[in-house]
Structure 1
Amino acid sequence: MDDKIKFEIEFPIHASPQLLYQYISTPSGLSEWFSDNVNSRGELFTFIWDDSEEQAKLLSKKTGERVKFRWLSDEEDELLTYFEIRIQVDEITKDVSLMIVDFAYDDEIDEAKMLWENQISSLKQVLGSA
């Protein structure tokens, strides 16, 4: 079985890092754009879509900067996969970007990137910066 491959994508976004952090780190923020609903108990987050739900463990977070999750369905993977949403601010221009780090199988990377593009465009609509 092939290993999943790590990929990274950058999305310029017009919002303050403080505001963005609320949208990437809290159940109420994530449920505005990432999935239909999000519940959390401690480090365990349950993401709910129309007819499915997935659980993820919050691996780490740094206030105002980043969150890192691992899907519980990936726990048995030999390779320790995760997805990370990181806020990046350009030191000179102060432009803000969201960096997404995720893993997918080789033949699913394009699809995975497209999913993220859709999610981030939902986030931009919520932020009014689309």
Structure 2
Amino acid sequence: MNDKIKFEIEFVIQSSPQMLYQYLATPSGLSEWFADNVNSRGEKFIFIWDGSEEEALLLKRKTDEFVRFAWEENDDDSYFEMKIIVDEITKDVSLFITDFAEDDEVEESKMLWANQVSDLKQVLGSK
């Protein structure tokens, strides 16, 4: 079992932290950009893509700041986190993604996130 590599990517998003958070932490928000459909029961979130389901647990969250999930089938300490960062001076809002992938899948994972976040920006009406 290979250890996964942690990677981080940042995207500037023109949105208020409050509005952005709704798209990161709620099933209805996540289903607009992250998956075809998302359901939740308490801390358990079910993400649906093309009819297949993936379950994740909401490990931590702080309103308008971040959410952290772990995929149920993971047998390691990996997670994915979406953090909202506001620049104190410019007030620019960034979405900071932390995720884990196998060594040979890091670039692919980054591209996947870029595509997802591009959808998120469209939903938000952000450039």
Q: TM-score scaled by structure 2?
A: 0.98
Q: Where does structure 1 differ by over 3 angstroms across 4 or more consecutive aligned residues?
A: none
Q: Paired residue for 1:15? A: 15
Q: CA deviation at 1:59?
A: 0.1
1:126 and 2:110 equivalent?
no
Structure 1 segments unaligned to the other structure (5+ residues): none
Select which of 107, 111, 117 maps to 1:114: 111
Query: How high is the sequence identity, in percent, across the aligned residues?
Result: 70
Please point out which of 78, 81, 106 is paired with 1:81.
Answer: 78
Query: What is the letter of the counterpart of residue 96 of structure 1?
Result: V
* Amino acid in structure 2 at the alignment position of 1:68: R
Mapped to 1, the partners of 2:57 and 2:6 lie a distance apart of 18
Q: Post-superposition shift, 1:51?
A: 2.8
Residue identity opposite 1:85 in structure 2: M
Cα distance in 2 between the residues matched to 1:87 and 1:110: 22
Number of residue-to-residue matches in the alignment = 127
The alpha-carbon deviation at position 2 of structure 1 amounts to 1.7
- Distance between the aligned counterparts of 1:2 and 1:29, measured in 2? 33
Please give the alpha-carbon distance, in whole angstroms, between the structure 2 residues aligned to 1:52 and 1:109.
22
Query: Distance between the aligned counterparts of 1:99 and 1:10, measured in 2?
Result: 4
**What is the Cα-based RMSD across aligned positions, in Å?**
0.6
